[in-house]
Structure 1
Amino acid sequence: MVERALSFGAAAAAYERFRTGYPDELVDKVLEYAGRTVNTALEIGAGTGKATRVFAATGIAVTATEPDAAMLEQLRKHVPSSVTAVQGAFEDLPLTSTFDLVFAAASLHWTDPTDRWTRVSALLNPGGIFVSFNRPLYLADKDLDEAVRVARSEFLEDDGIPPPDGTSEEWPGTELRRSDRFTDVRRTSVERRTTLTAAGYIGHLSTLSAYLLLRSTTREQVFERIATVLPDEVTLISDLTLHLARRS
């Protein structure tokens, strides 16, 4: 897991180019849940800052943390000057500052579960909120999805990351509900469909850890095989699932 977590730096520029951004509706749902003014926020594992940007655009003072130097370099190029960028893993962040909001965009599964919720709680102001959201992209055409699976199967059976407790729709809500540090745990979603060119879809795959861990020659071979089964454009299901909680 650690090896996969640290694999993205080699593809930081591709990550910025090919990973899709986040919609304003995401921030609307978070602020509606908060029910009060959110002035400060901390992002865990910000990558190139795609989620940071939509929160910062509302005037929230965001501190974006990211352990990988190459990813952080891309982030600094693309976020507004109001964002504070900090290199560091979640587990190493000093617990000397607190925020109205702590959020993780498709990064929470990379954090150490040992004291995950103790640390999140310690980083929140009283009554502050935590939100985790992810956006796995799936080919809407099931036959095409199967064709892609077959095309890569000689080298890679699965290109995803199973959630820690095996229930992608319910995690991390399952853990938040068990923790006495949080209350008012909710799950909601933002429905989205994304259309990419075949080249754009291959570019997206090139940013996934499962492919990044392949040898470069093998990775190119896999992409060539996948490209042979793709139409000119593909439609992906890119719904966001949000898990929200309030510090007790």
Structure 2
Amino acid sequence: MQGPKSSGQETGRPSATGGIHHGRTHDEVEQELLELRALIESTVVKHRRRLSRDALVRELGREEVVPAIESLVESAACALDVALSTDAEVSRGTYAALRTTLETRGGSLRARLLCDPAAVDRKFARQVTLAGHHWEVRMTPMPPLCALIVDGSATVVSVGPPGASRASLIRAATVLQAVRNLYSNVWSNATVLTERIHFGDRDRTDTVRLVLQRLRDGVTDEVAARELGFSVRTYRRYVAEIMTLLGAESRFQAGVYAAALGLLPPSGD
């Protein structure tokens, strides 16, 4: 499996916090995920006969995934990297383990949580921010991948949609490196949830929320501009600035991000 492209070969774009993200297309991430899954499967075959507790790769049944994640979180000595996609059961179990660890050992660990918008727990993100430890939560559309990397030496990986995923507990160095590479690539291009996004003064913030509501509701530029008393050109400038601040690549994505960040009330309110 080939390693990730050098960041110097990628096109940068502004992040939600003012830095530069090295963008990767969704298709590139999906392809890397397919390669990772193939690598895991080939490694499973090589180590299938090693069924001891210390096996380099061990397949997990559905009922074993959350207990394995809980055990790894508890065993972490210095670092946790977590990725949550759309599997609600795995997300619930992982959040529960992370909350316990944040409360009991948060100051002694560095933790990164990468979430699909559907897997974001805003209450947990606020807890992380208030705790003031070396924990960070980011959000981006995720491929069907749930993963937990502990101290860079062990990982639980579940690849595939809920109900059709295949999970493994992995200590094989080759697969671990592939998982770390994929995680780093997606992480660098994600929106930070544990830092406040500043839109400016109160009036501007109120205006941004009104624009976000129109984006979420799918209102055309012309109708939205007329409702807000803007020219279409001014409205579109607001939209472009909002997308940059949120790290969104499309208007729809900006609306999803805004809802996950708590910038908008639930639809229908």
Q: TM-score under structure 1 normalisation?
A: 0.23
> More helix per residue: 1 or 2?
2
> More strand per residue: 1 or 2?
1
Structure with the greater relative contact order (CA < 8 A, sep ≥ 6): 1 or 2? 1
Q: Radius of gyration: which is bigger?
A: 2
